[in-house]
Structure formats: structure tokens, C-alpha cells
Amino acid sequence: MPVLLVLEDDTATRDALTETLRRLFPLARVIATRTDAEPAAVEREGANVILATLPVAERFCRETACLAARMVALTHAMGPDTLLRAEALGVCASLRAPASAEHLRTVLGPMLDG
């Protein structure tokens, strides 16, 4: 069973994104937590994909030399500087926040094997 991990501090945003992901990917286990989660705890969850804001993704990449999960950065800005920052991190994808269900399905579906 694929595992999706959402790292988000805003409760309403976290709940809405979690509900959307559960509807889109009913065979996946969706876990949501605050952004202050420790990378080691995140790795223990066995996440296949992590959704986080770009600053949180940067922190995780800095603190974890080899994160097994694919990182997807959520960002409000999609300008060249932001995309270059995300690319330099090695994230698998960047999505404009708030991400629509269609965009989530398109980007995450292949990462979760459909």
C-alpha cells in the first residue's frame, strides 16, 4: 500500500489536502502531520511521497542525506527562481498551492503506480 505524507502546519489546509488525497487515492494510506516532524520519524512511516512547502522540503533535504520518499514541493510562487530552487533540491515535482484535485492526480498518480 503506498503511503502519502502531508507536512502542513495550518490545520484547515492539512485537513482539506488529506481529504482530497484520500478521495483521489483510496488505496493509499494518507498521513498528515505538522512540519516540525523529525525526518527520522517521517522515514519510519515508510512514505512513498511527501508533500510539503518548499521551505520544509529544503529542511528535510538538508537534514536527511538520503530520503527514500519522493518529495513534492507545494508553493504559492511558480516563478523561475522558485522552480530553480526546487530543481536544485531534487524534488520530483512542484505544485502551485493550493493544488487542485486534477493536478494532484496528474502528478501523484504515476508516483503511486496509478
With a pLDDT cut of 70, the percent of the chain lying above it is: 96
pLDDT for residue 60: 82
> Into how many domains does the chain fold?
1
pLDDT exceeds 60 at position 65: no
Model-level pTM?
0.89
CB 23 within 8 A of CB 45: no
HSE (CB half, 13 Å, CA atoms) of 40?
Answer: 0
In the numeric block, which cell numbers belong to residue 6? Answer: 502531508
Partners of 73 in the beta sheet? 52, 94
For residue 68, pLDDT over 90 is answered with no
Range of the domain at 89: 3-111
Mean residue pLDDT of the chain comes to 89
Task: Please say if the pLDDT value at position 31 is more than 80.
Answer: yes
> Distance between CA atoms of 36 and 86, rounded to whole angstroms?
20
CATH number assigned to the domain comprising residue 81:
3.40.50.2300
